[in-house]
Amino acid sequence: MSEHEPSELPRVLSLVHVVASGVGIIVGAGIYVLLAPAAENAGGLVWLSFLISAFVCAFTAMSYAELASMFPRTGGEYEYSSHVFGRRVTFMIGWGMAAGLVIAGATVSLGFARYARYFWDVDDRWLGLAVLGLSSLLVVWGSDRWSKLVVLLSAAQVAGLLFVVVIGIGHLGDGELFSGRGGSGWNSFSGLMSAAALVFFAYIGFDEVATLSEETKDPTRITPRALLWSLGISAVLYVLVSIAAVNVLGAEGLAESTQPLTDVAADVVGGRAGSVMAVFAMLTTANTVILVLTAASRMIFAMSRAGDLPKVGSRLWRDGTPALAVVVSAVIAATFVLWGDLKLIASATDFAIYAIFLSVNVMVVVLRRREPERMRQFRSPWSVRDWPVLPILGFAITVWMIVLLEFEAILVGVGLFAVGVVVATLRESRSGASVSA
C-alpha cells in the first residue's frame, strides 16, 4: 500500500451520490434505533416529535447550505470556522464535530447489533464491534467504490421504510396518534419535546453532506441542494413510518419494543416478514456506520492537514483515502460500543452536534455582517436590516433543545469538549516551545 503526502481529495461524487449519502447517514440510525425510546417519551405523538426535530434542523440546514456554497472544501464546520473565528475556536468546533460523529458511529453500531440479534444470540457489543471493523475496511477501500455501494444500500433502506408505510396503511385509525405520554397538558408537551430532542440524532447526516464537498464534482451548486434534499426526504419518511408503527403496535407496544420495525412487519405480515425487515434494518444501520466513519475521518483529515492534529492523519493512502484517520475513528468508536448504553450515547452525540449547530448559525450571522458582498451561490432567506432571521432562530431553538437533554448526556458532552480544551492547550504549548527553540 503506497502512501502520499497531504493533497486534495479526488472529486468523484455526483448529486445522486451525495443525496444518497445524506439520506443514508440520516435514515439509518434514527427510525430503526430511536423510534421506541422516543415513543416512551411522546407516546402516540412520536410522529410529531420527528416533525418538530426536522423543523429545528431546517433552520440550521439553511445556514449549512449557505456556508457550503461559500467554502466547498472537506471539513465542513471546521473549514467554515477557519474563516470566522480564531484557531482555538476553530479547533474546538472540529474536535466537537469529530467526537460527535465517532460517538454516532458507536450508537448506530449498537443499533445494528439489536437487529442482528434477531438471527444471532450474541452480545450487542461484539456485534457492534464486528460491523465497525467491516465498515472501516469498506471506507478505506476508496470513495469511488463505497459511494456506489452506498447508493444501493440507501435505496434498500428507503425501500424497507416504504414497506413499513405500505403495510401500515390498513391500520390507519387503529393507533392513538394524538395522545401523548402521561395524559394531556404540560406532561404530554414535555414528553413530546424531550422525544424531539432525542430523535434529533435521527437527523444527523444532513450536515455531513458538507464534509464531502471536496470530493463532490460541483460543490458550490450540488452541496446546498443535497443538504436540503437529504433532510426533506428523511423527514417525510420518518413521519410516515412512525405513524404506521403507532397504528400497528400502539403507543405502549411501540415503546416496549427493542426491534420496533421488525415487530411491525411481523405483526402485520407474519414472522418471515419480520426476518426480512431485520435484514433491511441491518443493511440500513451498516450503511450509516460506513457514512459516519467516512465523515469522521474527513474531519480528522481536514484538522490534520491544517496542523491542528498530527500531520500523519492527513496522509492519503491508496486511491486517495485517509486510511489512518478512518482507523482512528473506528478505534475510538469501539470504546463507546463497549460502553453499551445506546440511549445515553445517542444523547451525548446530540449535545456535541447541538453545540456545533450553535456555532454554524453564529458563523452565518458574522459573515453576513462582516462580508455582505461576498459571493454566495445559496443564501438563507429572510433578513431584517441585514440580520439573517433563520440563523438567529436556529440558534435560539438549538439552545432550547440542549436544555431538554438528559443531565447525564450533557455531562458526557461537556466532558468531551473539556478533553478538547486540554488537547488544544497541549498543542499550543508544544507549538510555542518549538518556536522558542
Predicted confidence band of residue 2 (pLDDT cuts 50, 70, 90): very low
What are the grid coordinates assigned to 285, written together?
444501520
Return the pLDDT at 144.
62
What pTM was computed for the model? 0.75
Average pLDDT over residues 332-348: 80
What are the grid coordinates assigned to 434, written together?
518549538
For residue 335, the tally of other CB atoms under 10 A from its CB is 11
Question: Does the pLDDT value for residue 434 go beyond 70?
Answer: no
437 Cβ contact partners less than 8 Å away, ≥ 6 residues apart:
none
Question: What domains, with CATH codes, occur in the chain?
Answer: 15-360+393-431 (1.20.1740.10)
Q: Which amino acid is at 36?
A: A
- Between CA 10 and CA 145 the distance in angstroms is 12
What are the grid coordinates assigned to 325, written together?
484517520
Average pLDDT over residues 242-252: 90
Give me the sign of the Cα torsion angle 210, 212, 217, 222: negative
Average pLDDT over residues 379-390: 88
42-51, 136-145, 204-213, 237-246: the lowest-pLDDT one: 204-213
- Between CA 300 and CA 306 the distance in angstroms is 10
Burial of 422 (0-12, 13-18, 19+ CB in 10 A): exposed
Structural element, H or E, at residue 289: helix 271-305
Strand positions, DSSP E, 7-145: none
| Residue 34 to residues 38, 87, 155, 186, Cα–Cα distance (Å) | 6, 36, 21, 23
Give me the sign of the Cα torsion angle 231, 235, 237, 238: positive
209 vs 290, which has greater pLDDT?
290
**Average model confidence (pLDDT) across the chain:** 82
Secondary structure tally for the chain: helices H, strands E:
16, 2
- Between CA 233 and CA 237 the distance in angstroms is 6
Nearest one of 105, 81, 104 to 93, comparing CA atoms: 81
pLDDT tens digits, one per residue of 32-51? 778 888 898 898 899 999 99
> What percent of the chain clears pLDDT 90, i.e. is strictly above it?
12
Return the pLDDT at 13.
78
Question: Does the pLDDT value for residue 197 go beyond 50?
Answer: yes
| Residue 149 to residues 90, 146, 283, Cα–Cα distance (Å) | 33, 5, 11
Give me the sign of the Cα torsion angle 166, 172, 174, 176: positive
- Between CA 22 and CA 29 the distance in angstroms is 12
**For 168, how many CA atoms within 13 A lie in the half-sphere containing its CB?**
26
Return the pLDDT at 16.
83
Return the pLDDT at 345.
77
Return the pLDDT at 87.
85
Report the interhelical angle of 186-199 vs 389-404 (nearest 10°). 110
CB 42 within 8 A of CB 172: no
